[in-house]
Chains A and B, each alone.
Chain A
């Protein structure tokens, strides 16, 4: 029951997160900024419109958004939120979770290449390269959490981190949180890896891949993009919320609070930083990787 509640809240509130980020950015640049509900308006507008397809494309162009949305929903089934077990939890469920995100990437890249446009090819190529570097970081961080709690499922890991473990392993947890936060920024196409606002094709990664999508297809992509923000944010908030023992309901509220705070933090990061040069992005991702490996090494010392 609680699992269904978690999924429903994700499905309903996820489009708020980009709103929170944009509001924070607007605050920092001294503007009023778009409404916090802007993404809802955009999605509602887009699903009432028709779509235009390129004559070059095949059915794969249309599968990109559809698979993207379906996979994000299945990931929500696997993801525990607010100390509650997820609907589907089993040993190794995080492997399935990460690989479903990989499936999304596979079809998004193909959809981009399907248009035959070199802009989209360029975006696809960068997306493939950077995500390849992100995946190992997630696995190392999860491996550290697994070792810390002795659990092999995501639900087990999140409920296994109690305040005692949290207190004993603060350096490790901080390193892992930093690593996952960098991946959160990279995977969700945020500054300093990618700029969601610019429409200069030469600097874009994610935005340029979806240039040719329109109408409901674009709505699906925007919606699954916000779900992805929610998913990565939940992993971070799941670890953070474990610090204090709480009753289930407050725990849940606490998690949502962290999710919004992470959104604000992202807004701040985007406001105070410039986008990195493309050739420096691998260095950032390798830094995230080093953080997670360092985390494991410290954990080894502590054991």
Chain B
């Protein structure tokens, strides 16, 4: 634990140092990056020890703070969340070094690094907090630090707006969290975050707590219908920040829900149903919205919504297993959910870093503008490809392993639990299948349109590969994708302590463990056999072609002699069949000018997508809200005398009230 505290202090001090050294860009960066490297080095030791040994480490600071004590605890669950935090913090910091070069000289790098370090430190503190007040304190610091990072380019109007939306949304969530912690304090004194000991708490309070935690933490996690801040904030933030936000920060919401479940214990079965429904709605709508999106970072943001949906689905199946006292299903579901948290942190940040790398070269995030980048940016292309396969949940990479665990949980539940649960498990399986297919379409769209084919626009500067400061973190992250995919059983072994922490009881029989390990072992065996067969097929192809010429010619244009790169399929045309099919949900707006008369001059067609939750719920509600609050504008007119009068009036009222 001392190591972790030291690591937090290191982060804070190095952040301050780079703030003071802001004049000298490289010195400032050097302070920050070395600070993170050292902090990660120190911090990761107790974290890994805790994940493997499973012993919780409590630390209580001697001086009291108001409302309880300053308590932090390193348990397997928090250790499991802190591990990717350190990895991503380090990768994004390395990446930022080069990325920040793209900004003009007058941009203060010091402020960026200061808030970056504070954000990392506060996230770790959120995971460590064992007391409600410490938790809220760290939670707020995290929100504010991330707000400043999102509005790093505050000179842009769009960024300023995005920052505000984020700040309002997340504070709306904090409101609910305040109520949640106060309510929790009624049944768990001193704002303790330890599991409830009193077993006869009224059901209504428990259900209220669950709902409040779902709203409060769900906003941070970006579950539908609370997701609207994600597609605003991610495109606005610098890419390495988006990577950290999407990789870790939204997971603090999931951590909160998991922690709540640990505190409340013994979930009723409807919590599982509820989470599965929320998860499938988030998953399916998230990926559908992503399909309609042309802006790369907005698209990735919607995919975060989708993946949070998958994580929630896993958690939901796990809860059903828990409430039915079937530890096998619980372990599979929660294990899949946890592994997906780690996996999503890895591949989503990889994709965001890739997006940033493309942006640095082409200065555009519109998918339809680029094309043929694979040849010009091979490293970015390769790593982005690996990230795309992983996020589509395809074997043999990591995204598949976690989805496989959730599938297995649902199929096992279907085969062994009572028929009453068939429909809910079927819903899980169906949502996963649909999400998988849609995500595959979406990422073949992104990769195929951006990296393959010919360039669709002429860029002012020649596009070249990003510097190795940017590419090496991406290579590191894609290695994680491959290794987790191939060594699934070993990875699941490291998950066993965090799973145990949530389920509260270990797998009762050896046959259950055997069941999981057998299928994971065989899974990685099939992936290995696949790679071997693939290698043999490649050799065969080499051999067959070695005796024959393989010349390079132009793509067959069906006899047309003057093809241009603008004739290629675009992202919007690629996803059109599915968009048409789901138009009843998406409600994409189309504007077009049809060519008229015999010699038509101009024609145009454009599609515009506005999030339906924004269009039909948030925008009307907030504009109503603004209209209503306009009444109060009269009270605030800037006349000092009137303000003094207000104060006098209030004082008088108070006096009268007290005298009475």
Interface residues of A (CB under 8 A from B): 47-58, 60, 62, 65-67, 69-71, 73-74, 77-78, 88-93, 95-96, 99-100, 102-103, 105-106, 109-110, 112-122, 124-126, 128-133, 135-136, 138-140, 143, 146-147, 150-152, 201, 211-212, 215-217, 220, 282, 296, 300, 303
Contacts and interface: CB of A to CB of B under 8 A. Distances in A.
A160 to B, nearest CB: 10
A282 B577 CA distance: 10
A91 B408 contact: yes
B556 A114 contact: no
Contact of A128 (B440, B534, B568): B440
B267 interface: no
B541 A88 contact: no
B408 A95 contact: yes
B441 interface: yes
A93 B389 contact: no
B408 A92 contact: yes
Given A69-B537, A90-B518, A125 B573 contact: yes
B183 interface: no
Contacts of B521: 90
Most chain B CB within a 10 A radius of its CB, from A66, A90, A217 = A90
Contacts of B212: none
A71 B414 CA distance: 28
Interface stretch (B77-85, B443-451, B494-502, B604-612): B443-451
A90 B519 contact: yes
A119 B567 CA distance: 10
B544 A113 contact: no
Given A50-B550, A131-B437, A139-B430, A56 B415 contact: no
Nearest to B420: A300
A139 B578 contact: no
A215 B545 CA distance: 9
A129 B407 CA distance: 23
A88 B574 contact: no
A71 B527 CA distance: 10
B448 A143 contact: no
A136 B433 contact: yes
Contacts of B393: 99
Nearest to B408: A92
Interface in B545-596: 545, 548-558, 565, 567-569, 573-578, 581
A113 B569 contact: yes
A88 B555 contact: no
B529 A282 contact: no
B454 interface: yes
A139 B433 contact: yes
Contacts of A51: 545, 548, 550
Contacts of B529: 74, 77, 88
B568 A118 contact: yes
B622 interface: no
Contact of B452 (A113, A135, A152): A113
B404 A125 contact: no
B426 interface: yes
A147 B417 CA distance: 10
Most chain B CB within a 10 A radius of its CB, from A90, A95, A113, A139 = A95
30 contacts: A51-B550, A54-B552, A56-B372, A56-B453, A56-B454, A66-B534, A66-B537, A91-B515, A103-B389, A106-B389, A109-B444, A114-B453, A116-B452, A116-B454, A117-B555, A125-B573, A128-B577, A132-B434, A132-B437, A132-B440, A135-B434, A140-B430, A143-B414, A147-B419, A151-B415, A216-B545, A220-B537, A220-B541, A296-B422, A300-B419
B422 A300 contact: yes
A46 to B, nearest CB: 9
B438 interface: yes
A277 B574 CA distance: 19
A105 B519 CA distance: 24
Nearest to A110: B448
Contact of A132 (B416, B441, B454, B548): B441
Interface in B411-439: 411-412, 414-416, 419, 422-423, 425-426, 429-430, 432-434, 436-438
Contact of B434 (A54, A67, A126, A136): A136
A239 B333 CA distance: 29
B401 to A, nearest CB: 10
B533 interface: yes
Given A95-B404, A95-B407, A212-B555, A116 B453 contact: yes
Contacts of A105: 440
Contacts of A74: 526, 529-530, 533
B433 A212 contact: no
Contact of B525 (A52, A88, A112, A129): A88
B40 interface: no
Q: Which 5 A-B pairs have the closest CB atoms?
A: A121-B569, A113-B448, A50-B548, A132-B437, A116-B453
For the complex, would chain B's binding face be called helix, strand, loop or mixed by DSSP majority?
helix
Most chain B CB within a 10 A radius of its CB, from A73, A96, A216 = A96
A93 B533 CA distance: 18
B437 A136 contact: yes
Given A90-B523, A122-B573, A128-B445, 12 more contacts: A49-B548, A52-B551, A53-B550, A54-B552, A56-B372, A71-B530, A91-B515, A106-B389, A106-B443, A118-B567, A147-B422, A151-B415
B92 to A, nearest CB: 27
Contacts, number: 249
Contacts of A116: 371-372, 452-454, 555, 565, 568
Contacts of B443: 106
Given A91-B515, A91-B518, A55 B553 contact: yes
A13 B563 CA distance: 42
Nearest to A139: B433
A55 B545 contact: no
B453 A113 contact: yes
Given A66-B537, A116-B565, A121-B569, A129 B523 contact: no
Nearest to A285: B581
A153 to B, nearest CB: 8
A90 B576 CA distance: 38
B341 to A, nearest CB: 20
B526 A216 contact: no
Contacts of B369: none
A282 B426 contact: no
Contacts of A60: 374, 385, 452
Contact of B411 (A52, A152, A201): A152
Contacts of B578: 128-129, 132
Contact of B533 (A58, A73, A300): A73
Contacts of A215: 544-545, 548, 550
Interface string B352-389: 00000000000000000001101100000100010001
A150 B416 contact: yes
Contacts of A55: 552-555
B395 interface: yes
Most chain B CB within a 10 A radius of its CB, from A88, A124, A126, A143 = A143
A303 B541 contact: no
Interface in B462-488: none
B395 A296 contact: no
B538 interface: yes
A88 B449 contact: no
B581 A282 contact: yes
Given A51-B550, A71-B530, A150-B415, A58 B441 contact: no
A114 B537 CA distance: 21
A135 B436 contact: yes
B522 interface: yes
Contacts of A56: 372, 453-454, 554-555
Contacts of B432: 139
B392 interface: yes
B533 A128 contact: no
